Structure 1
Amino acid sequence: MLNFTTRQLGRIAGQSAAPLVKELSAGLRSGATSSKAQVCAVIAASCLSTEAAPTSQVKPGSSSSVHATCCGFPKEFIGRNSCVLEHGVFGEDACFISKFKNVHVAGVADGVGGWRKYGIDPSIFSSRLMKHCAEIVEAGTFDPTRPDLIIAQAFTNLAEAPRPIGSSTACVVVVHQNVLYTANLGDSGFLVCRNGKIIHKSQEQTHYFNAPFQLTLLPETMETEGFIIDTPESSDMHAIELQKGDVVLLATDGLWDNVPEPVIAEALREATSTNIQAVCNTVALIARRLSHDNTHKSPFAQKAGEYGIATSGGKPDDITLVLLYIN
């Protein structure tokens, strides 16, 4: 896995990425004896979900089999002392991969960091939202053509006690009978890559620069003025016909704000049913390196310039990816 990642990073992200891979590899080895309750957030912080089977046995023509995995880095990750304490949670980001029969579902959510000034951990909201989505899928109580309703039901369940306070974006996709059904709220999102070319990419939803659409739960005594409050009904929805070999990538804005689309497409060109974890690692590593590159003309910096805001370099942020390979 690591050799593949080194080659990819050297070719796509520049030779300076090779020392980073060595650093992360060393962190992985040295952390081998750490507590089982802590999964060190190095390359292997990319978690192969135990919720999704590597291959689904389906009848020809009835449905796609899907290989799925995820990976990510918390923003504060420095080395082996920075750890992921819960599966599928990377800093303030969260994700899930689940399935019901031959229907495969995945999602990502980005907790709004502004809640920290109120003494609230943003990761609680996003991680519980994704857990509720996964539970709905596992119970089979959902319409596979309406991922927005999965978000809506999860949000309703989230509002019940114990009720977390906070906000989050949400992106959920469903693979059902060779069609990708999507619902995206905010500036997380997804893309579909076919033969090394991006054939569809979600559009971010923002109220103004760096203020994405978001689901919000406020304290019952708090006034709503000054807070962004959106509903699942505002989700942008699409249905996309899939083909064998398509790659579906979901990610939080830690990826989109730092990695140009051509670089993502080039990395995904390498994806197969047997190496998607390595490819997922590669894209996450590229995003992490570029997020800390002060000379990088990042998509976030370019977007800021369009709003008359002078900034440069990458944008350090939590990075969370889910990768689906359509087999």
Structure 2
Amino acid sequence: MFPILFLPYVNNMKTGNQTIILEFLLVGFSQDAEYQPLLFGLFLLMFVVAVLGNLLIILAVSSDSHLHTPMYFFLSNLSFSDICFISTTIPKMLVNIQTQNKSITYAGCITQMYFFMVFGGMDTFLLTLMAYDRFVAICHPLHYPVIMNPQLCGLLVLVSWIISCLYSLVQSLLVLRLSFCTNQIIKHFYCELAQALTVACSDTLLNHILLYIVTCILGFVPFSGILYSYSQIVSSILRIPSTDGKYKAFSTCGSHLSVVSLFYGTGLGVYLSSDETSFSWKDMVASVMYTVVTPMLNPFIYSLRNNDIKKALQTLGRILFVK
């Protein structure tokens, strides 16, 4: 399925007068050697917290029959996607810090790039589906069981997976046609597509066109859908006569809105403000926010602001530790 299976070389290879680089250097956080142990401990802690936190959300939703609803179905898929999302970048970075070896093979870079785009795309789709779920629940409550039926929810998630995988595969195939020569340094802590294109010595016009088009489609279109959903939600909430009713309706959206703000605020900020040729420390910190911090904070945001999740986690804790 993945094109990297046909690329067994990991060292430099000479072809005529051209040296083709089959290995890259990820120099994201390697500037200050004295801070490497601190960075290793910090990122290891964030990785463990993110994986365990999202795993607990999945177990809580699976074990509690009261949470077998569309909203929590999407939430458990988001938690799974977040575990995979953070696992595509942090383990390799931790290995590089520990071994003081910043290299990543050509095949490893393409693989990391592919899965990063898959799970990053899934996060955008799932956040959009969760916004649509809240829109239907608040604006069309009587039709909610009919509209958000299990078949539709499963189909929406399946289509999201298919689109994410196909786009990532196309981008990976387009990267495979490029030649990478002389400059093998990627100014990031993972193989980010835009940064990888800057070290290619062949024409990247087609890659950039597809990158910009898909960034607009998979970035702004879902985000526009979220904004539209919440504009309708706010309009419906304002028509509720009682203050308690307004608070109850909005409380069901608070956690999701917090996650959307964190994910899109940092993610779109990176792609809109950064210059590929002069990627700065500030841009890298912003990347950490949406690739590491957001997956880590999602379980806390949903568990601290959601009584149903709190009860499910308490029940799960009693099952796991009392026995």
Superposition TM-score, scaled by structure 2 size: 0.27
Structure of higher CA gyration radius: 2
Question: Bigger relative contact order, structure 1 or 2, given CA contacts below 8 A and separation 6+?
Answer: 2
Larger strand proportion of the pair: 1
TM-score under structure 1 normalisation? 0.27
